[in-house]
Every structure is written in C-alpha cells, then in structure tokens.
C-alpha cells in the first residue's frame, strides 16, 4: 500500500483527463506545488496568483481522491456561485470519462460514484450544512473571501478528525494581512506547526501567461491591485481603492482656473435619489485631470439639483456632462425642462477604477484643496469589499463622488478614443 496521500498517480491521471478541448493536462509549477503540499502536509495553504489554474488543479485532485474507494471529498467556498467552479471541473471529468455514478444530485450538489466515494459541494454561508460530516479531503476555495475561520475551527476541523490521513487545502489570492488566511499562511512557515505548510506562487509559475499580457495588466491596473492579484503581495491591499496622498494630490489649482482656455472642462454626475447626489467638475489637457469644483448634496428636488448644475455649467463653461446611464428619466427631464444635456457614462466599473488608480499612481489626478476637498476625501476613503471574489467596491457615502469622478474621466477617455479610432 502506498504511503502517498493520493493513491492514484496524479501524473498518469493527467494524461487521461479531458476538459473542454483539452485532452490531457500538464500542470504548471503552482499546480504541482498544490500536489506536493497535500502529500507532505495535513493542512496546506496555497496562495496563488490569478490565472495560474488553482481551481482546475483542485478539481483534478478532488477527482483523484474520489477514484479511491469510499472516500469523502468536500469543497467549501464563500457561496455556491464560487464553489461551482470546482464542481463543474469535477463533474465534467466524470462525464467525459463516462464513469458510472450511483447518485448525481445537481440541486444538492452531491455525486456518489459506484466505488462508494462521494463528492459534495458546500457553502460557508450555510454553516448548518458543514456540521457533522466526515471528510478525507476538504478544499476551501477563495478562502480569503470568507470573513473569519469559525467555519473551519468550529464546523470543518472536527470533520477531519474521523480519518487519520485526512487533508485540508486552502486556496486563494491574498486579501491583506488582516485576514485569517494570512495567519494560516504564517503557520505553514512556522516549524512549530508540524502539520501545516504553505507557499506562494506568482503569475510566473504559469508559463502559458505571456509577458505581453502581464505588462498590459500592469498598465491597466493600479499598483495595489496588480501586486495583489499577480504578485500575491500580502501587504498591498488594505482595502483602499486609490493610493491618494494629501501632499501630492491635493493642491491649490488657481493656475488651472485662471487658464481654462488650455483645458477641456468635463463633469461627472452620480444621481443618488435616496442617497447624496454628486457633481464633479474636471479640467483636463488630455494627460492630467484636475478636479476644480464639486457639488455634493443630500436630498434635494430635481429643480434644485438642475439649478445648481446649470450654475456650474455656465460658470465653468462645461463641455460635456457624463451621467449615470441608469438615470435616463432624469437625463430626459434635464434636457427637456432645464436645457442641460448629458451623455451616458461608460459603466465598465473596474476598468474605470483601474484607469483612475493608474492616474493617481502617476500623480495625474489632482484635486483643488478648497473646491475639490470633498471629492478627494471620498476617493481617499473608497474601499474594496473583502467579501467578494472579483474586485468590487463597498457602497457607502464615499461612493457617490468617487463614481461621479469616474464617470467624468473614464467616459471622456473612452468616448474620445472611439471618436478618433
């Protein structure tokens, strides 16, 4: 009997696996690191960059364990949407290899093979479903997104006590040092925790990623986001979206205001309805963007909002106003009743955020210390939501001016490119 955790040789199994158009799989450095980590450690924390195939590898390893008779394999993720990625990989492999199953429950996400092994999908959001289940292998996908480790210490850790050779695999990209997963990573580096191991694999572990693609991602992302997602940097994301610095990005913009003929004047409008409205005025020479005025209001009537925007439009000579594309009725009312014409903003949220973050990183987005201070404060306190797989911001009082600024700048850039393309 083999002493290895995986009794079925993974290397030979890879040659037989069919997924999509791929007939046979070759693991990269990160994926082999996952295999070795589970062979040598009972608890393995696998920190890997985006697009390094960690979910695919986890699915194949789950399948390898299922081929052993009578094994229990569970995948846990923050929610069913995220955990379904590995579910799809495993069930596709079973289907493509035409393995006979004893039970296949798509609704409850349970598969039982005729050899008695069971594959089960669970959500960390449904804590009751985690209790009372024994497992030979537990895979926690996108582990850093789960807010705390109570799901493991209270619910899953006992499940690993039934079988002496059980394993737990935590896979994720980093989400800052305040997350429990960072502590698990540190355990894996500490000789006192003999059962724990951990490793970090950046984008370089996947030879299929071209340097050209990575350079493009580096240019289109903020420094923080790129460092987190591709370099697996624990220290980069303390949830702040924009790395604003008061000494660099908050200035006296009198010199811009006194030379408006050198700039295009644009504005972004985020309509709050029940929340605050935000109207941000921006001067640009095509390379630098200067927030020269702002109007952040609470609950006001449409006529009051229109009167203020009309006043600012005439005072600054605004060339174009970009409005939230969801506010079509207000856009029509402005045009018909108040002679204020707006253009729909480009709603590619994360692309727009990345573009603004790049401007901030290169000191090309500047705020007037008197008439742009509220907008500066909003962007400086704009935060990522740590509970989502893909980067998504928290909706709060800082969102409105942040969105209005993004509407103005990113929409103007994209529409200008389209005109001249």
Provide the 10 A C-beta neighbour count for residue 363.
Answer: 11
| Nearest by Cα to 79 from 43, 109, 44, 58 | 109
Provide the 10 A C-beta neighbour count for residue 11.
Answer: 9
Domain range 10-220, its CATH number among 2.60.40.10, 3.40.50.300, 3.30.530.20, 1.10.10.10: 3.40.50.300
**Sequence-ordered list of residues with C-beta below 8 angstroms from that of 41, at least 6 positions apart, any chain:** 167, 188, 195, 196, 197
pLDDT higher than threshold 80 for residue 2: no
Confidence of residue 1 (pLDDT cuts 50, 70, 90): very low
Provide the 10 A C-beta neighbour count for residue 333.
Answer: 15
Mean pLDDT of all residues in the chain? Answer: 88
Overall average pLDDT of the 85-107 stretch: 88
DSSP one-letter string for 374-415? HHHHHHHT-BB-TT-SS--B--STTHHHHHHHHHHHHHHHHH
Overall average pLDDT of the 161-168 stretch: 88
Q: What is the DSSP letter of 240?
A: B
pLDDT higher than threshold 80 for residue 419: no
Sequence spans of domains, the chain: 10-220, 246-420
**Sequence-ordered list of residues with C-beta below 8 angstroms from that of 116, at least 6 positions apart, any chain:** 69, 70, 102
DSSP one-letter string for 42-88? SEEEEEE-TTS-HHHHHHHHHHHHHTSTT-EEEEEESSHHHHHHHHH
CATH class assigned to 246-420: alpha beta
Q: Which residues are catalytic?
A: 142
More confident residue, 18 or 53: 53
Locate all alpha helices (DSSP H) within 179-296, ordered by sequence: 180-189, 211-220, 223-229, 246-249, 254-257
Q: Name, of 20-24, 63-67, 177-181, 412-416, the range with top average pLDDT.
A: 63-67
DSSP H or E segment with residue 306? helix 302-316
DSSP one-letter string for 317-342? T-SEEEE-TT-HHHHHHHHHHH---E
More confident residue, 83 or 100: 100
Q: Identify the pLDDT of residue 79.
A: 72
């Amino acid at each position: 009997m083999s002493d290895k955790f995986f009794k079925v040789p993974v290397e030979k199994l890879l040659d037989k696996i069919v997924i999509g158009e791929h007939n046979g799989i070759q693991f990269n450095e990160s994926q082999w690191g996952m295999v070795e980590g589970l062979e040598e450690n009972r608890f393995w924390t696998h920190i890997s960059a985006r697009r390094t195939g960690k979910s695919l590898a986890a699915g194949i390893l789950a399948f390898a364990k299922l081929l052993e008779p009578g094994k229990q394999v569970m995948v846990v993720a923050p929610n069913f949407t995220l955990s379904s990625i590995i579910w799809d990989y495993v069930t596709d492999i079973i289907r493509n290899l035409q393995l006979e199953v004893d039970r296949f429950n798509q609704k409850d996400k349970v598969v039982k093979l005729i050899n008695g092994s069971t594959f089960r999908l669970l959500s960390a959001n449904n804590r009751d479903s985690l209790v009372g289940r024994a497992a030979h292998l537990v895979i926690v996908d996108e582990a850093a997104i789960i807010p705390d480790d109570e799901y493991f210490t209270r619910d899953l850790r006992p499940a690993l006590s039934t079988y002496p050779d059980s394993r737990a695999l935590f896979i994720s990209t980093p989400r800052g040092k305040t997350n429990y997963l960072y502590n698990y990573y540190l355990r894996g580096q500490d000789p006192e925790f003999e059962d724990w191991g951990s490793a970090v694999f950046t984008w370089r572990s996947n030879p299929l990623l071209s340097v050209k693609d990575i350079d493009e991602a580096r240019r289109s992302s903020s420094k923080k986001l790129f460092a987190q997602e591709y370099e697996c940097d624990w220290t980069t994301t303390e949830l702040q979206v924009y790395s604003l610095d008061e000494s660099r990005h908050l200035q006296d913009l009198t010199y811009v205001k006194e030379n408006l003929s050198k700039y295009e004047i644009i504005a972004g409008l985020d309509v709050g309805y029940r929340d605050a409205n935000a109207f941000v005025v921006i001067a640009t020479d095509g390379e630098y963007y200067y927030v020269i005025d702002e109007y952040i209001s609470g609950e006001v009537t449409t006529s009051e909002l229109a009167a203020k925007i009309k006043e600012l439009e005439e005072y600054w000579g605004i060339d174009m106003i970009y409005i939230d594309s969801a506010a079509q009725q207000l856009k029509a009312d402005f045009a018909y009743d108040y002679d204020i014409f707006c253009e729909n903003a480009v709603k590619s949220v994360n692309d727009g955020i990345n573009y603004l973050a790049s401007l901030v990183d290169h000191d090309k987005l500047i705020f007037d210390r008197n008439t742009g201070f509220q907008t500066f404060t909003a962007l400086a306190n704009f935060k990522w939501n740590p509970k989502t797989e893909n980067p998504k911001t928290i909706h709060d009082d800082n969102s409105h001016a942040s969105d209005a600024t993004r509407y103005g700048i990113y929409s103007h850039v994209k529409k200008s490119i389209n005109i001249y393309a």
